[in-house]
Structure formats: structure tokens, C-alpha cells
């Protein structure tokens, strides 16, 4: 494997390890381990700030609402210092999310799936930027905040 190929593989591994640690395993320390101090999320989800603490907050919110939350990449493509991830993440709601309480313990489960595309820029061994396009409308529909007919 040549140097460029090695760097592309390493960048994909960094992104995959970060997503797995923060969102699938619920390790909030992944923010410190994988994101640069000057990390910027150019379109953060669900109104969280676009910095490291916003990413930590997003991880915490999803783990509290969905203790079984897990993210699966469909595709990861790397070129230069960019990694594109097309993914689906899912879990069963067990806590409040966006003001929507979890279903009663004896009620039906509320599975939620989130589809999206992330673009990460990697510098050295840290993620420095992220752009994301998430199906937030789909999540709002699954939570019953917005009608399926909307």
C-alpha cells in the first residue's frame, strides 16, 4: 500500500472509530480523543453548538434517549483529507428526546432510525471539521412531533 492509500485508510479508520466510540458505545471521552481543539461542525444537528462540546452534547442526548443507539456506515469514501460517511443509526427510545417522553414501560417500543451523510476533514490524527446532512424530519416524524402527511 502506498503512502497516499495508507493515509486514506487511516483517515477512514479515525472517523469510524470516533463514530463507534461516541454514538455506538456512548463514550463521551471520544470527543477528546478524536476531535481537534479547533473542531467545527458546520451544520450541527438538532440545534447543538458547532464545537466539540456540541458534539459531546449530541452524543449524550442520544445515549440518554436511546441506550441501545448504534450507528452503521453503509459507505465510507476517502479522498485527500476528507472522509464521507453514508450511514444509518438506530435505537429504541427509553428517555426524553426533543421534548418527547419515552413510551410508558408497559407501552409499545418506539424504534427510531436516523439516516445521514457526514463529511469529515482529518488533520493528522484528529477530526477538524464536519458537515452533515441528517434526516431530522424523519426523526421528528418517528417521534410523532410532525405528522407523516406533512
Domain contains 148: no
Question: How many distinct structural domains can be found in the chain?
Answer: 1
Distances (CA, A) of 133 to 7, 28, 93, 106: 25, 22, 22, 35
**Stated pTM of the model:** 0.91
What does the pLDDT read at residue 134? Answer: 92
Domain contains 150: no
Q: 3-state DSSP: the chain helix, strand, coil percent, rounded to 5?
A: 35, 35, 30
Domain contains 71: yes
What does the pLDDT read at residue 2? Answer: 65
- The parent domain of residue 22 ranges over 3-143
Domain contains 149: no
Residue 103 sits in a domain of what CATH number?
A: 3.10.450.50
pLDDT tens profile 71-90: 999 999 999 999 999 999 99
Domain contains 110: yes
**DSSP letter at 99?**
T
Amino acid at each position: 500500500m502506498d503512502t497516499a492509500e495508507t493515509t486514506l485508510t487511516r483517515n477512514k479508520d479515525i472517523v469510524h472509530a470516533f463514530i463507534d466510540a461516541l454514538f455506538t458505545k456512548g463514550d463521551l471521552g471520544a470527543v477528546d480523543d478524536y476531535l481537534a481543539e479547533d473542531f467545527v461542525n458546520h451544520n450541527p444537528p438538532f440545534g447543538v453548538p458547532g464545537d466539540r462540546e456540541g458534539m459531546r452534547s449530541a452524543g449524550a442526548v442520544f445515549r440518554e434517549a436511546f441506550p441501545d443507539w448504534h450507528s452503521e456506515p453503509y459507505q465510507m469514501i476517502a479522498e485527500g483529507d476528507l472522509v464521507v460517511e453514508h450511514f444509518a443509526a438506530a435505537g429504541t427510545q427509553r428517555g426524553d428526546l426533543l421534548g418527547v417522553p419515552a413510551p410508558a414501560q408497559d407501552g409499545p417500543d418506539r424504534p427510531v432510525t436516523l439516516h445521514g451523510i457526514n463529511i469529515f476533514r482529518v488533520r493528522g490524527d484528529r477530526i477538524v471539521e464536519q458537515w452533515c446532512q441528517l434526516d431530522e424530519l424523519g426523526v421528528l416524524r418517528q417521534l410523532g412531533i410532525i405528522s407523516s402527511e406533512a
